[in-house]
């Protein structure tokens, strides 16, 4: 049972035991969630449907905020919450919360990861059944009075077919396990799992190309990141087994939807089912909307009564536990520490995660070892939380949600990633510094270091180059011939595309082992893929990489 629509004045649950902490509920939760709060002595205020201005006014004196997906907790909202200690998301994704802003303010962000796994996995399997037996097309035919059309709707059994699961996170594993019980041969690809041993017994790990060429059904279960965007590109769709069917209940943007429509039109693929889209809702002229061999659903992955009840209760229990006992379960940004300690170390936690994110995206092969050195004043603290933040930064783009300080070590072990403490390094000019070095499966290595100036994280070193970069937003990294005019060429391409440059740092060729210069361009806006392609085509440019910080 959902909460009623917002009233003109705030409504509260019945008070019990009279705790002083104030909780603001911004989106609908199950009624059982209010009972959980009341059992711990809390009387949450419910203010539903608030815009940013309304949220700014509402959070000024609250200690906890609870949202689902509708409310947007922006930096401005977070900075208005002078007493704010925790933001809870009743669900998995935290895209509607500015996690960086919360971390910088020492505000814990937690999600409720357990409730959606089965629901999303079952939807993917349901769509696979519907595709294999033409259920939706048969329904349309019946409603149109076309009984004889059934001869044209010949289906196929799932038993004995091969299912390729891309991403063996928590949802992918449920899909794999359930489908083994349906007598499918299940294979999987996850670049961050070491083969040949699979975490799901009986599921073979293989390369993405091998999976695409062998699978009768392909189901996507990976997070959306710079690395996975357009994972199924035109070229990779072309590698799929003729007559295969494709299911995506993960994230929009993983598939080149135009290329998918063309592959269906050519008869290369037999069908597709999508619950998520690059643009939601998709435009009225989207080519997939007109195809009978495609099943489309409006992002229903977590939309079951059981899942919504489960995540509501889960987040209510977690927030109550944090406010009563100071324990942060499923925190996506900070370990369980006192509010005072969180405020002191927050910038270094954010810095460590940014350093890890840089290393993960700068790498062209899987990371196997992370060496970390923590020096200066910050080393006087218990820095285990800083190390965890670095690990989370490295793993975040490779993991299906959720990823937090509790499960990061286990997820790292699953992926064969080892974190090593090298002890402090000698440094004379900075009060505190974090330095991280990664060793890769290919034998390559990268180094990145940073500090905090005021309360603002800064990257001060990348490999051989000393810099001064604020790790926020898109960062374009180029490898190029060290000659006059390169910066002008880069600026021209970006300027023509309407992308503004926030800051440029250059690494001269004499500092690099390969004799090439480096460019680090902090951007205000995200450049389109064709802009990156145009930069890569410039004569002096040898390589280009877009990194999200």
Catalytic site positions? 251, 280, 299
How is 367-408 classified by DSSP, letter by letter?
EEEEEEEEEEGGGGS-THHHHHHHHHHHHGGGSPSP--TTTH
User: Cα(235)–Cα(64) distance, rounded to whole angstroms?
Assistant: 47
Nearest CA to 317 out of 327, 308, 307 is that of: 327
Q: Are 122 and 181 in contact (CB under 8 A)?
A: no
Q: Which residues contact 234 (CB under 8 A, 6 or more apart)?
A: 256, 259, 262
Q: Within a 13 Å sphere around the CA of 285, how many CA atoms are in the beta-carbon half? A: 0
What's the distance, CA 22 to chain centroid? Answer: 30
Six token digits for residue 436? 């991280």
Alpha helix positions (H), 81-184: 99-104, 117-132, 135-143, 170-180
Beta strand 541-548 with 418-421: parallel, antiparallel or unpaired?
unpaired
The residues facing 244 across adjacent strands are 269
The angle, 0 to 180 degrees and rounded to 10, between the axes of the packed helices 529-536 and 486-496 is 160
In whole angstroms, give the CA distance from residue 55 to residue 73. 8
Long-range contacts of 289-297 (CB under 8 A, 24+ apart): 291/261, 291/264, 291/265, 292/137, 292/140, 293/137, 293/264, 294/264, 295/127, 295/130, 295/131, 295/136, 295/271, 297/123, 297/127, 297/273
* Whole-number Å distance between alpha carbons of 522 and 291: 42
Interacting residues of 164 by C-beta distance below 8 A, sequence separation 6+: 187, 188, 189, 211, 212, 214, 215, 217, 218, 219
Alpha helices (H) along 202-304 = 208-214, 234-238, 257-265
d(CA 102, CA 524): 21
187 in Cβ contact with 162 (< 8 Å): yes
Q: Tokens for 106?
A: 């020492």
Cα dihedral 25, 29, 30, 33 in deg (nearest 10): -40
Gap between the Cα atoms of 497 and 485, Å rounded = 19
Nearest CA to 190 out of 214, 213, 211, 160 is that of 211
Separate counts of helices (H) and strands (E) for the chain: 16, 23
């Amino acid at each position: 049972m959902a909460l009623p629509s917002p009233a003109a004045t705030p409504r509260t649950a019945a008070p019990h035991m009279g705790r002083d902490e104030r909780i603001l509920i911004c989106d609908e939760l199950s009624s059982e969630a209010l009972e959980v709060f009341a059992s711990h002595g809390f009387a949450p205020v419910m203010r539903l449907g608030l815009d940013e201005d309304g949220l700014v006014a509402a959070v000024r004196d609250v200690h906890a905020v609870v949202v689902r997906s509708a409310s947007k907790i922006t930096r401005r909202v977070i900075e208005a919450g002078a007493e704010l200690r925790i933001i809870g998301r009743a669900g998995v994704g935290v895209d509607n919360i500015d996690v960086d802003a919360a971390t910088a303010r020492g505000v814990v962000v937690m999600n409720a990861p357990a409730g959606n796994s089965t629901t999303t996995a079952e939807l993917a399997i349901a769509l696979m059944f519907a595709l294999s037996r033409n259920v939706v097309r048969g329904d349309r035919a019946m409603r149109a009075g076309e009984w004889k059309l059934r001869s044209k709707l010949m289906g196929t059994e799932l038993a004995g077919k091969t299912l390729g699961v891309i991403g063996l996170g928590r949802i992918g594993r449920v899909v794999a396990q359930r489908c083994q019980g349906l007598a499918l041969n299940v294979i999987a690809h996850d670049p961050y799992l070491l083969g040949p041993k699979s975490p799901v017994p009986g599921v073979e790990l293989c390369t993405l190309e091998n999976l695409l060429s062998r699978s009768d059904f392909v189901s996507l279960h990976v997070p959306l990141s710079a690395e996975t965007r357009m994972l199924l590109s035109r070229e990779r769709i072309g590698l799929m087994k003729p007559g295969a069917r494709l299911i995506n209940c993960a994230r929009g943007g993983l598939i080149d939807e135009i290329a998918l429509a063309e592959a269906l039109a050519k008869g290369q693929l037999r069908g597709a089912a999508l619950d998520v889209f690059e643009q939601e809702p998709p435009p009225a002229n989207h080519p997939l909307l007109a195809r009978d061999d495609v099943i489309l659903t409006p992002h229903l992955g977590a939309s079951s009564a059981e899942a919504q009840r489960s995540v509501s209760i889960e987040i209510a229990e977690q927030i109550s536990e944090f406010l009563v006992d100071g324990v942060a379960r499923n925190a996506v940004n900070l370990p369980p520490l006192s509010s005072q300690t969180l405020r002191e170390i927050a910038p270094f936690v954010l810095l460590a995660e940014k350093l890890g994110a840089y290393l993960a995206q700068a790498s062209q092969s899987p990371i196997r070892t992370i060496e970390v050195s923590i020096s200066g004043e910050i080393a006087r603290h218990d820095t285990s939380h800083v190390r965890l933040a670095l690990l989370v930064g490295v793993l975040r783009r490779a993991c299906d949600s959720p990823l937090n300080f509790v499960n990061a070590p286990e997820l790292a072990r699953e992926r064969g990633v080892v974190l090593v403490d090298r002890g402090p390094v000698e440094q004379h000019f900075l009060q505190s510094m974090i330095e991280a070095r990664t060793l890769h499966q290919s034998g390559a290595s990268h180094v990145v270091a940073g500090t905090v100036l005021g309360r603002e994280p800064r990257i001060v070193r990348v490999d051989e180059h000393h810099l001064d970069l604020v790790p926020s937003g898109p960062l374009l990294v180029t490898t190029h011939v060290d000659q006059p005019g390169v910066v002008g060429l880069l600026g021209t391409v970006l300027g023509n595309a309407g992308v503004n440059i926030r800051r440029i740092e250059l690494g001269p060729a004499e500092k690099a082992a390969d004799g090439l210069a480096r460019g680090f361009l902090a951007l205000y806006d995200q450049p389109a893929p064709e802009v990156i392609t145009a930069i890569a085509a410039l004569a002096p440019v040898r390589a280009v990489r877009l990194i999200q910080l």
